[in-house]
Structure 1
């Protein structure tokens, strides 16, 4: 069966298309399950939409949930529509985010680190002029945040766990044992990670995470799922078959999706 748990829509301000278009694209692509997981609002801000080109407005959140649930009912019997959300992880605001999600019947929540040391992980200028020690510090700070997100008790899935390489491919070569340490924590906490094919749209190309990280994740018993991270409907399910093939080559026997926050394992 085919599934895709990471898709966006026009509400976040940097994706195109309505939620319905993503569901229709999933049907066209032969998916059995489509998860809608747009960027959650910046709940900690007093502004309704702190960054209009990054995440949805706080006032749009209830309507987002309502629309996904309506489409879930409408497409029942054709495709299973799952209610998800991609949440930023800010340790200092963890309980606020937890209480903000609590009233809604999410099938899953993706926890993603998009900022580290107050700077976007995709900002390639953060690396300018740094020596080796500073490179290592930046990478380890990022993985410290991912470890904290794994222990937060809020997320079923961790999003794109090496996305810091997106516009700085040399990130992958920065030496540190912190990546293995983080995978061990994720395995112990029994959180899934996604294979996210949107890396192909960035400078680095390829997927998040790298094959090497996936090999180590298997060693630590980390569950995996699939997400295209589609910001246009045409990318729904993008490279699902290729990812499935690669996971089998690495040694995985199954991957998973979530319904009502319960993991459902699917043989590869």
Structure 2
């Protein structure tokens, strides 16, 4: 029997997603999911401002109510689906103590660590590579993977989010040659942090999942655990391509994938 889950979802608090938490849970029930993870973007805890970047993440004053709402809905829908309390956290190497203090206060089932900024520029910013030389582009890619490696070693995260998402609006990113990807995958495998197969890449210029198949093949070599997340910003994208991802992982050679309860990995057969 296949356990069906989606661990990466957002909702209206972040300012760039549509729908309430309950909308996502109801959609997951309609799709017969066993587990639905709610994982909206963390506030910018390091800032003195309550809402440093409206439209990117929730405000700090909303964080407690976010957790409370998820826990209430977890109880409300307990007979129909397992609701998991998650969060997607930016990885800012200089600010992670602020985040750690907050994470320790709440009963998260898992925390997704995502690198969204390299050289203080959003990884999804169109045109960020246009004026760079080939060597400068490689340097950006290497810095990106250095941050991902550090996030894996931080001990804060159970899952690493969309680990080649810089290709989203710059598909040639995948062809930039560097050993940084393998070095990072080796570290992730040693730390036994899961990477997600994130299907939201299909909504970007690259038109494909994160990460690419070749990275998944190398991740298997380094014994990196894998999980699934649609990164849904609308309820309709819940579990998007779940069955296709499951099939592809089996073709690559994976035997199992993982979800999390109380920050503990649960490995289930593909």
- Name the TM tier (shorter chain): over 0.9
Equivalent residue in structure 2 for 1:58, among 35, 43, 60: 60
- Deviation for aligned residue 1:96: 1.0
* 1:167 corresponds to: 169
Secondary structure of residue in 2 paired with 1:222:
coil
Secondary structure of residue in 2 paired with 1:124:
coil
Alignment of 1:195-234 (within 5 A): 195-234=197-236
- Deviation for aligned residue 1:131: 1.1
* 1:63-90 deviation per Cα after TM superposition (whole angstroms, max 9, x unaligned): 0000000011111121000000000000
- Deviation for aligned residue 1:132: 1.2
For 2:109 and 2:51, the matched residues in 1 are separated by 25
For 2:263 and 2:199, the matched residues in 1 are separated by 23
* 1:45 corresponds to: 47
Secondary structure of residue in 1 paired with 2:127:
helix
Secondary structure of residue in 1 paired with 2:95:
helix
Secondary structure of residue in 2 paired with 1:234:
helix
Equivalent residue in structure 1 for 2:89, among 82, 87, 90: 87
Q: TM-score, normalised by structure 1?
A: 0.99
For 1:165 and 1:73, the matched residues in 2 are separated by 39
For 1:194 and 1:211, the matched residues in 2 are separated by 12
- Deviation for aligned residue 1:94: 1.1
Secondary structure of residue in 2 paired with 1:92:
coil
Q: TM-score, normalised by structure 2?
A: 0.99
1:245 equivalenced with 2:247 (yes/no)? yes
For 1:84 and 1:143, the matched residues in 2 are separated by 23
* 1:200-242 deviation per Cα after TM superposition (whole angstroms, max 9, x unaligned): 1100011000000000000000000000000000000110000
* 1:185 corresponds to: 187
* 1:10 corresponds to: 12
Secondary structure of residue in 1 paired with 2:240:
coil
Alignment of 1:27-176 (within 5 A): 27-176=29-178
**Superposition CA RMSD, Å:** 0.5
For 2:55 and 2:153, the matched residues in 1 are separated by 29
Question: For structure 1, which runs of at least 5 residues remain unmatched after alignment?
Answer: none
Question: For structure 2, which runs of at least 5 residues remain unmatched after alignment?
Answer: none
For 2:114 and 2:227, the matched residues in 1 are separated by 14
Secondary structure of residue in 1 paired with 2:87:
strand
Of stretches 249-258 and 120-129 in structure 1, the one that deviates more from structure 2 is 120-129
- Deviation for aligned residue 1:125: 2.1
